[in-house]
Structure 1
Amino acid sequence: MRFVAGADEAGRGCLAGPLVAAAVLLDLEALGAAQVRALAALNDSKQHGEVGREALYPVVLANVARAAVISRSPRSIDERGLHRMNLDALREALLCVARPGCLCLVDGFEVAEMPFEQQAVVHGDATSAAIAAASILAKVTRDRFMRRAAERHPGWGFEEHFGYSTPSHRAAILERGVSPLHRMSFQSTAYQQLAL
């Protein structure tokens, strides 16, 4: 197998902000020793701190044959459902990078209606360089978006928790209500306390 694509998402379990999926294509025949070493340093984006992920972002882009990042808005998540939007975004990202004869690896579960061979890899972001690379791209892209969103929507602390359910985020929701970036379909104790 010459071509391997990997896909992962960031922001699935958030109270606010987009869901971001990324996919990369590795051309295994074109990888040199330096590229193999660079890709070996990758692991699940959650295993790296923010500074480490930012440092790995250009490394990923320099060592993959193709990359794609797809975003789904909080509104689309509310209207169509988180799981459906997650699968749609992963599929779209993979279709942007995959090529004939490619094996598509997805973290966790298979994506429907893929015209390429695929394999779900449980904890793939920790075991597959292709999925780990996609994980880095998705997480860094989403974190950058949330830092910019914090400037437009101050008071919720998006630059600190990036939309995840933390004590400070839940306290901000109780104090301020929800912002346009909050997902109203997400089942959360913080939301239930507001009786939304």
Structure 2
Amino acid sequence: MAAAARAPRRRRPRPPGRRLFAFDREFGTRFVAGADEAGRGCLAGPLVAAAVLFDYERLSRSDMRALSTLNDSKQQTAERREALYPVILRVATRVAVISRCAPGIDRRGLHVTNLAALHDALARVARDGCICLSDGFPVAELPHDQQAVVGGDARSAAIAAASVVAKVTRDRFMHRADVTHPGWEFASHVGYATREHRAAIERLGITPLHRLSFQSAAYQQLAL
């Protein structure tokens, strides 16, 4: 009898972190810094920018394996982001976090605030010989090579790591805000314009965490 045909062996999907680290290595530099932000589109809470610097001469295989699931923070669960956060802090050469409050966003404008925060975060981690990568938008000039990467949080390991740090930092802040501002349910929507958040604003009004420059329909019935 003919031997039964073996089913083709399925290949395991390539961990996203390998692809992201490969992208950074293509720049051919020892140091790669990446920056991203969290909370840009929120009605309440700070805008948080983070930057992460990786040293590719010191980054070991075990370090990269530990970050094999690294990816855009929006594609991660809260549990996965929390698990990656301490690993990033351990593996990265430098990490910086910049926070900009709601009144500051209202005074300067969201886009200006965002670019300035990304710039300041990169300036704190960058060092001679590095390339500075920002997600989506170019930032003000730095004394280092720079490149804006469209969709960078899903392409670059340094940017993806920064997106995780920024998101975890901001979510933790909004969970604490849920305790100090009960009723707005900040722990569930972390400041985004969900139906529940808009209903809370209509019912309870606003807090010092709310961005008044955003022309949200939830504000229309309030005497601001």
Query: What's the TM-score, normalizing by structure 1?
Result: 0.97
Name the structure 2 match of 1:189: 217
How many angstroms does 1:194 deviate by?
3.6
1:52 corresponds to 2:90: no
Name the structure 2 match of 1:89: 117
Where does 1:22-171 land on structure 2 (aligned, <5 Å)?
22-171=50-199
When Rg is computed on C-alpha atoms for both structures, the one with the higher figure is 2
* Residue identity opposite 2:84 in structure 1: L
Greater CA drift, 154-163 or 113-122: 113-122
- Secondary structure of the residue aligned to 2:113 is helix
CA RMSD in angstroms, aligned pairs only: 1.1
Greater fraction of residues in helix: 1
Task: Provide the aligned length of Structure 1 versus Structure 2.
Answer: 196
* Residue identity opposite 1:128 in structure 2: S
Q: Which 5+ residue runs of structure 2 have no aligned equivalent?
A: 1-28
Query: What's the TM-score, normalizing by structure 2?
Result: 0.85
1:5 corresponds to 2:37: no
Contact 2:31 2:130 in 1 (8 A): yes
* Residue identity opposite 1:34 in structure 2: S
Partners of 1:108 and 1:195 lie apart in 2 by 36
Contact 1:161 1:169 in 2 (8 A): yes
Partners of 1:12 and 1:55 lie apart in 2 by 23
How many angstroms does 1:193 deviate by?
4.5
**Structure possessing the higher relative contact order (Cα contacts under 8 Å, 6 or more residues apart):** 1
Partners of 1:143 and 1:60 lie apart in 2 by 17
